[in-house]
Amino acid sequence: MKLLYHFCILHGYSRLDSALQEILHISRSQASQWIESKLVKIDEQVAKKGKILKKGACIQIYTTYNASQQHDANKEELIQKLEIEIIHENNDYIILNKPRNLVVHHAPSVKEITLTDYLQANNYELSTINGELRFGIVHRLDKDTSGAILVAKNNASHLRFAEMLQNRTMGRIYICVINKALQHNTFVECHMGRNPNNRLKMAKLDKAKYPYARDSKSEFRKIMESRNGVFELIGVRLFSGRTHQIRVHLSTLQRYIYGDILYSPENLKSSYKTKMLLHAQLLYFDGNVFSAKIPKDLLKFLEENFIDYESKLEAFLLQWKIELQQTRF
């Protein structure tokens, strides 16, 4: 078995399965299945579903996933075909420009090659804090999101980066194309969690009704509208890192990312001619700001629909870099 998660809880819970549901944003049935399969341990002891958890208890979750069994014979060939730009590298970390349509790390439901496969195949030294399936991964990007991603090479660096994420001295600036212009620059704050009506989606939730919902905050800034006024290029700053956060926050404004077939209403889906146009453009920490080149399909869309986007986007990103430097993030 391989270690999938290892964490310690900050307060007590009356039941283990409800704790896993809240902390990991999974269904109660999924949590029960893991427990019944003896994949969950509390302080290294196999756990029971109705176990009462005390503050400070450490939970280990394992998986029987075996990469060599799951991947077909073409795995190595597929990995070799991956072209991933190195933005910056030193002895402690590597920053990559993740391409769209690539999963970051393995999970029990993932059968395809991942970014961690690529890193291991290329013999990178990686941190082990997050278990064997998530070697080096400090933060994640959705499969359909491209852009800057940070990978830790050792455990000391990983712990430092995790602290930065916690106190928000590390962050990302995204760019995306939306279906309708924002009325003005704005912030969105809400509690988020798994959509109770669709397990594939996240949603804005009432914390009182859904205790597992977690706080989230994003800043949205206008960059420029398309030549026909149909689309808008915007910048987004995350103050938290919830799954699908940008997509959920935009949906509260009745805005949707071009190409997002999961969150967009049916009348928009049929008009999409590309994948989701969401890119993690900037990654900042330790007084540095790193930039990821825009993927070809997004560049093509901008060239076809926006006038003089290069200079306006460059000025926008420069202004945000200056603000970040001034705030001494």
Render 86-101 in DSSP notation, one character per residue.
EEEE-SSEEEEEEPTT
Region 171-326: CATH code: 3.30.2350.10
**DSSP class of 306:** -
| pLDDT score of 110 | 66
Least confident of 75-79, 132-136, 287-291: 132-136
Query: What CA–CA distance (Å, rounded) separates 59 from 53?
Result: 10
Cβ atoms 233, 177 nearer than 8 A: yes
Q: Which of 42, 41, 28 is nearest to 1 (CA)?
A: 41
| pLDDT score of 25 | 65
| pLDDT score of 232 | 98
Whole-number Cα distances in Å, 306 to 143, 291, 323: 26, 21, 26
Cβ atoms 87, 290 nearer than 8 A: yes
| pLDDT score of 329 | 61
Query: What CA–CA distance (Å, rounded) separates 6 from 2?
Result: 11
How large is the greatest C-alpha to C-alpha distance in the chain, in angstroms? 62
| pLDDT score of 251 | 98
Who has greater pLDDT, 43 or 76? Answer: 43
**Taking the model in full, what pTM does it have?**
0.79
* Tens-digit pLDDT profile for residues 202-241: 999 999 999 889 999 999 999 999 999 999 999 999 998 8
Residue 66, pLDDT above cutoff 60? no
Q: In sequence order, what are the beta bridge partners of 278?
A: 176
Q: How confident is the model at residue 291 (pLDDT cuts 50, 70, 90)?
A: very high
Residue 114, pLDDT above cutoff 90? no
Q: State in words which class domain 73-167 has.
A: alpha beta
Query: What CA–CA distance (Å, rounded) separates 274 from 289?
Result: 29
| Type of residue at 266 | E
Residue with tokens 């712990």: 159
Query: What CA–CA distance (Å, rounded) separates 81 from 68?
Result: 19
Residue 69, pLDDT above cutoff 60? no
* Average pLDDT value for residue range 274-291: 94
**Domain covering 2-63, topology:** 3.10.290
| pLDDT score of 234 | 99
Report percent pLDDT > 90 for the chain. Answer: 52
* Tens-digit pLDDT profile for residues 28-53: 777 888 898 888 999 888 998 778 88
Residue 327, pLDDT above cutoff 80? no
Query: What CA–CA distance (Å, rounded) separates 178 from 268?
Result: 11
* Average pLDDT value for residue range 250-270: 95
Do the domains spanning 73-167 and 171-326 agree at the CATH topology level? yes
| pLDDT score of 13 | 84
Query: What CA–CA distance (Å, rounded) separates 133 from 107?
Result: 7
* Tens-digit pLDDT profile for residues 119-141: 888 888 888 876 665 678 888 89
Least confident of 65-69, 73-77, 308-312: 65-69
Render 9-21 in DSSP notation, one character per residue.
-SS-BS-HHHHHH
Active site residue 297: no
* Average pLDDT value for residue range 3-16: 82
Query: What CA–CA distance (Å, rounded) separates 317 from 296?
Result: 19
Q: Which of 32, 106, 96 is nearest to 68 (CA)?
A: 106
The catalytic residue among 142, 206, 286, 297 is 142
For the chain, give the number of residues.
329
Domain ranges for the chain: 2-63, 73-167, 171-326
**DSSP class of 22:** H
User: Residue 16 phi/psi, 5° resolution?
Assistant: -65, -45
Who has greater pLDDT, 106 or 320? Answer: 320
Cβ atoms 90, 106 nearer than 8 A: no
Q: Identify each DSSP E strand in 50-92 by its residue range.
A: 58-63, 85-89
* Tens-digit pLDDT profile for residues 312-322: 999 999 999 89
